[in-house]
Amino acid sequence: MCLKSLLNLFFPKLCVGCGVPLFAHEYLLCDYCRFNLPYTNYHLMPENPIEQMFWGKIRIFKATSFIFYTKDSSAQSIIHNLKYHSRPEVGTFMGRLAGNALADFYADVDLIVPVPLHPKKLKKRGYNQSEMIARGLSEIIGKPLALDALFKNKITKTQTKKNKEERFLNVRGSFSVKNAEMFENKHILLVDDVLTTGATLEACASALIDSHAKISVFTLGLASS
Ligand SMILES: [Zn+2]
């Protein structure tokens, strides 16, 4: 028995969705979780609910979320691993999975921009989870990433305990653009981990639209607000 199989016997790699030990051919997710993820498939629906969420607020060209983020589900476990358990590779992996499904949907995008974290938050977590998702997407759909050009200019309190209106007020004006000419007349795909009210994405999109960019949106999870 080689060392790798021996290590795997004593410290099996576990599925980030359901926690079962993985088989050798599986990476991060077991086949069962992978085939049974709560996919939204909203990209197949014209004027889908994510796009409608932004109607009357801000002009978004295409938008979708990949999976429903429901309590006690494999999707929740995946997103918790990515955000709170120091597993950045889960983001890249899920970004690749989404990229395989969405390459046609986002075919006319020019640049991919992850929603930035404030530098203090980035230091604390060690990585930006949205950037990890964006990296996986970029790899598969073949569009370049633009990092650091959109940045968070103020620390905002956590959104989780806020109602819808408070969330919008909390993040409004908290994102700025460096090198605005980089975005001029470009179609930008904004990437975030979870969509709840859309407040964060709206604040990012409005900073980019000021630089004359056209905006589309992708999030890994869709939370019920
Ligand atoms: Zn699983």
Q: Are 24 and 121 in a shared domain?
A: no
Ligand 1 midpoint to CA 45 (Å): 28
Q: Are 56 and 104 in a shared domain?
A: yes
Ligand 1 midpoint to CA 113 (Å): 30
**Structural domains counted in the chain:** 2
Q: Are 56 and 74 in a shared domain?
A: yes
Ligand 1 midpoint to CA 15 (Å): 5
Q: Are 192 and 204 in a shared domain?
A: yes
Q: Are 19 and 113 in a shared domain?
A: no
Q: Are 55 and 1 in a shared domain?
A: no
Ligand 1 midpoint to CA 33 (Å): 4
Instruction: Please answer whether residues 212 and 151 qualify as being in contact, where contact means their C-beta atoms are separated by less than 8 angstroms.
Output: no
**Tell me, what amino acid is at 216?**
S
CATH number for the domain harbouring residue 144: 3.40.50
Ligand 1 midpoint to CA 21 (Å): 8
Q: Are 13 and 51 in a shared domain?
A: no
Q: Collapse the DSSP code of 113 into the 3-class scheme (helix H, G, I; strand E, B; otherwise coil) and give the result.
A: strand
Q: How buried is residue 182: exposed, middle or buried, by Cβ count under 10 Å (0-12/13-18/19+)? A: middle
Q: Are 153 and 185 in a shared domain?
A: yes
Instruction: Please answer whether residues 105 and 43 qualify as being in contact, where contact means their C-beta atoms are separated by less than 8 angstroms.
Output: yes
Q: Are 138 and 208 in a shared domain?
A: yes
Q: Are 27 and 46 in a shared domain?
A: no
Chain mean position to CA 75: 13
Q: Are 156 and 183 in a shared domain?
A: yes
Q: Are 31 and 65 in a shared domain?
A: no
> What residues make up the domain containing 18?
1-36
Ligand 1 midpoint to CA 75 (Å): 10
Ligand 1 midpoint to CA 16 (Å): 6
Q: What is the pLDDT of residue 107?
A: 97
Ligand 1 midpoint to CA 24 (Å): 14
Q: What is the pLDDT of residue 6?
A: 67
Ligand 1 midpoint to CA 14 (Å): 8
Ligand 1 midpoint to CA 31 (Å): 7
Per-residue pLDDT of the chain (225 residues; tens, 9 = 90+): 677 676 666 778 999 999 999 999 999 999 999 999 999 999 999 999 999 999 999 999 999 999 999 988 999 999 999 999 999 999 999 999 999 999 999 999 999 999 999 999 999 999 999 999 999 999 999 999 999 889 998 877 666 667 777 766 677 788 999 988 999 999 999 999 999 999 999 999 999 998 899 999 999 999 986
Extract the tokens encoding 190: 């904004």
Is the pTM higher than 0.85?
A: yes
Q: What is the pLDDT of residue 168?
A: 67
Ligand 1 midpoint to CA 18 (Å): 4
Ligand 1 midpoint to CA 67 (Å): 15
Q: What is the pLDDT of residue 225?
A: 60
